[in-house]
Amino acid sequence: MLVRGTSVVLFNAYILAGGEGRRFGGDKLAALVDSVASIARLADAAWRAGAAAVYAVTRSVERCRTYMSLAKLTSCLYDEPPLPGCEGPAVAIYTALRHAAEAGARAVILPGDAPWLTWLQVWSLQAYGLGVADAATIIHGDGYLESLVQAYNPDAAARAARAITGWCKVRGYARATDPLRAQPTIALIGSGLTAYTATAYAHINTREVIRTRQPKNPLSNSTVIIVEAGVAPDNPSMCWLLCRELETYTLHGIEQLARQARQDFEVLCSKDK
């Protein structure tokens, strides 16, 4: 947990552990990286960063038993889709956010297939991000985010969960970035500020990556970018907010979110052009 002033802010870590691992050819979280299971490496990073609890967000009791045997975990949470048919990583994020909001804790969300993340990246989300914004994530040098690495203050976690439900109603699906975009302020932390090498953000989507440790994105030279978002599908000014989002993200070179804001505007606001 972190101490700020005289108040104690709880920090729960949630490891996303629901993927099928089709390209990998098996359970990525159970894969050994330097003789240690991927999920065990992530759990250790979370504990070292000061987590009060560490959960695996998964799909079945069988998987939970496997992960509990491999890593030091508090418990497991099971995917709870906000609406029937709403699937993907956003569902696991939704499950984690609801749990954190009910616990009144900060939420730090980590992808289970990124075994080279360390305590430093987990700590940085809070030290550089949550002290100045409602939520935080990592931005790389190409303007793309480390979308499944996220942190939220308690009030922001509840807002983020509602946003995922709203986007599932409007689009029929939710993106991993939707809960971030729903926040009044987001801290985008340059990946170069949090890591000495881009390998920290490599994902083991294939077995070959365990050998090459090749990351997808280059490290960013930026420090911390604070942007205002607050776009939710139930907001009557949504189309205006999407335009503001697009301008803001384009100005700051946040290519991934600019592309998503543009797509949403074209699909949902075409009549207002």
Task: List, in order of start, the domains of the chain with CATH numbers.
Answer: 2-272 (3.90.550.10)
Residue 80 is predicted with a pLDDT of 86
Is pLDDT at 8 greater than 50 in this prediction?
A: no
- Sorted by sequence, the CB contacts under 8 Å of residue 32 that are 6+ apart come out as 38
Distances (CA, A) of 215 to 30, 91, 247: 20, 25, 29
Q: Does an H or E element contain 68, and which?
A: helix 61-70
Residue 1 is predicted with a pLDDT of 41
The tens digit of pLDDT for each residue in 67-123 reads: 999 999 999 999 888 887 788 889 999 999 999 999 999 999 999 999 999 999 999
Whether residue 113 contacts residue 205, with contact meaning beta carbons closer than 8 Å, is answered with yes
Mean pLDDT to the nearest integer, 3-9: 41
Residue 270 is predicted with a pLDDT of 74
Is pLDDT at 2 greater than 60 in this prediction?
A: no
Q: Please give the backbone phi and psi of residue 189, each rounded to the nearest 5 degrees, phi first.
A: -95, 125
Task: Provide the edge-to-edge strand list for the sheet that holds 53-58.
Answer: 75-78, 53-58, 11-16, 106-111, 145-152, 135-139, 185-190, 224-228
Whether residue 17 contacts residue 58, with contact meaning beta carbons closer than 8 Å, is answered with yes
pTM for the whole structure: 0.92
Among residues 146, 157, 165, which one has the least CA distance to residue 183? Answer: 157
Residue 206 is predicted with a pLDDT of 85
Residue 243 is predicted with a pLDDT of 93
Q: How confident is the model at residue 136 (pLDDT cuts 50, 70, 90)?
A: very high
Residue 3 is predicted with a pLDDT of 38
Using DSSP's 3-state secondary structure scheme, residue 2 falls into strand
Residue 272 is predicted with a pLDDT of 47
Is pLDDT at 273 greater than 50 in this prediction?
A: no
Percentage of the chain lying above the pLDDT 90 cut: 71
Whether residue 182 contacts residue 231, with contact meaning beta carbons closer than 8 Å, is answered with yes
Tokens 């956010």 map to which residue? 97
Burial class (CB in 10 A: 0-12, 13-18, 19+), 120: middle
**Bridging pattern class, strands 11-16 and 106-111:** parallel
Is pLDDT at 239 greater than 50 in this prediction?
A: yes
- Sorted by sequence, the CB contacts under 8 Å of residue 242 that are 6+ apart come out as 231, 261, 264, 265, 268, 269
Of 17-21, 128-132, 140-144, the one with minimum mean pLDDT is 17-21
Is pLDDT at 228 greater than 70 in this prediction?
A: yes
